[in-house]
Amino acid sequence: MSLSTHLPHWGWSAFFNAQLELRPLKEGEVIARIINQERDLYRIIYFNHEDLEQKAVAQLSGRFRFEHGESQLEFPGVGDWVICQPHSHGEEAIIHEVLQRRSCFYRKEAGNSMRAQIVAANIDMIFVAMSANQDFNLKRLDRYMSIAWDSGASPVILLTKADLCDDVEPLLAEVETHHVGVPVHAISATDPESIEPLKTYLQPGKSVVLLGSSGVGKSTLGNLLLEKEQLKTQDIRAADDKGKHTTTSRSLYQLPSGALLIDTPGMRELGLLDHQAGFEDLFEDILTLSQQCRFGDCQHDTEPGCAIQAALESGELTMERWESFQSLDRELRYVQRKTDAELARQERLKWKKIQQGLRVRLKMKSRGEI
């Protein structure tokens, strides 16, 4: 079966094509890309037998759920390429397989440490957005940058709302020295020219994801790049309401430039990462103190030169505060360990599956079956 020549416009590449040698399409199956996800409902794009672009609502097959029920990271997310089977009328489909990802990032669920969920898959570039107003915070940027580096895609830092900052130059310089080699741009929705430099990243078939805290202007930028008001943005009146975020699900859009853009909801939705962020801000004094301990791996117990013990003695740090830090810290470490173990297990499973596939192929080859 020959594939649609339009697939590369949605980001299809040789990397995915090669996977079809191991798992060829069966009768009636098509290649599709996930363009939106809301819980277990997926919206997909594919090309029908007349090679026309078709959107459909898709669900995972029972067999897929059964086989991958334990490992959330194997479930599809926005940007994933899947093998699916459309129903006869074409507007609904069943997802059978998720192709191996070239890059991805996931969120850990706060309440349930064993669960992690794909935020965006198969992305080439991450626009890490942080506003240049009073919300500017280098530590938070660091956290987003570590998600970005882990994903396998290349980050670009955007200082948004530059119009709300008297002088953006010092911030630019600070970010540049902190993240050497990462492109940094100051942009403002009120100044279309500030968006122009971003267009060099928006090459046809390349996928870009917008990442950053709620309210930094991701969807506003998305609309400017889409050249139309397609994404819902926060009401001006609601701008002080930090409790809610405007974008509630992740979606992929085709830009006029031919690039693909994924908009994501803000930080709160990023689960545990957010908790850790809040934690670090909450106990900034203690984290600063602990950097002053003589030994880098100080347990803040009986070590000589411990800045925490000294602060407890002098009264600078109360015992109550130190204890609440310790209990939260223990909890977070525990959650982190559990999640890491689960992720490692899923990674091993994935490689096992790939190896098994190869073994089957070799066997078939030796028997002259392929």
Ligand X SMILES: Nc1nc2c(ncn2[C@@H]2O[C@H](COP(=O)(O)OP(=O)(O)OP(=O)(O)O)[C@@H](O)[C@H]2O)c(=O)[nH]1
Residues that bind ligand X (CB under 6 A): 160-161, 163-164, 188-190, 214-220, 233-234, 236, 239, 245-247, 265-266
d(CA 80, CA 53): 17
Phi-psi region of 179 (alpha: psi -120 to 50; beta: other; left: phi over 0): beta
Tell me which residues in 214-243 interact with Mg ion (CB under 5 A).
Answer: 218-219
| Minimum distance from residue 335 beta carbon to Zn ion (Å) | 23
| Minimum distance from residue 311 beta carbon to Zn ion (Å) | 10
- Spatial neighbors of 169 by CB under 8 A, at least 6 apart, are none
- Spatial neighbors of 312 by CB under 8 A, at least 6 apart, are 319, 322
**The binder of Zn ion chosen from 298, 311, 317, 335 (CB under 5 A):** 298
* 8 A C-beta contact, residue 186 and residue 194: yes
Look up residue 171 and give its two tokens: 């911030």
d(CA 291, CA 312): 15
Is 250 a binding residue for Zn ion by CB under 5 A? The answer is: no
Look at residue 77 and give the partner it binds from Mg ion, Zn ion, ligand X, none, a contact being a CB closer than 5 to 8 Å depending on partner kind: none
Residues linked to residue 55 through DSSP beta bridges, in sequence order: 45
- Using the minimum distance from each CB to Zn ion, give the nearer residue, 219 or 309: 309
Look at residue 216 and give the partner it binds from Mg ion, Zn ion, ligand X, none, a contact being a CB closer than 5 to 8 Å depending on partner kind: ligand X
Look at residue 7 and give the partner it binds from Mg ion, ligand X, Zn ion, none, a contact being a CB closer than 5 to 8 Å depending on partner kind: none
**The binder of Mg ion chosen from 194, 247, 251, 257 (CB under 5 A):** 247
Q: Minimal CA–CA distance to 250: which of 43, 55, 100, 98?
A: 43
* 8 A C-beta contact, residue 257 and residue 222: no
Look at residue 103 and give the partner it binds from Mg ion, Zn ion, ligand X, none, a contact being a CB closer than 5 to 8 Å depending on partner kind: none
Is 71 a binding residue for Mg ion by CB under 5 A? The answer is: no
- Using the minimum distance from each CB to ligand X, give the nearer residue, 35 or 307: 35
Residues linked to residue 56 through DSSP beta bridges, in sequence order: 44
Could you list the residues that contact Zn ion (CB under 5 A)? 293, 298, 300, 306, 308
Under the rule (CB under 5 A), what is the footprint of Mg ion?
Answer: 218-219, 246-247
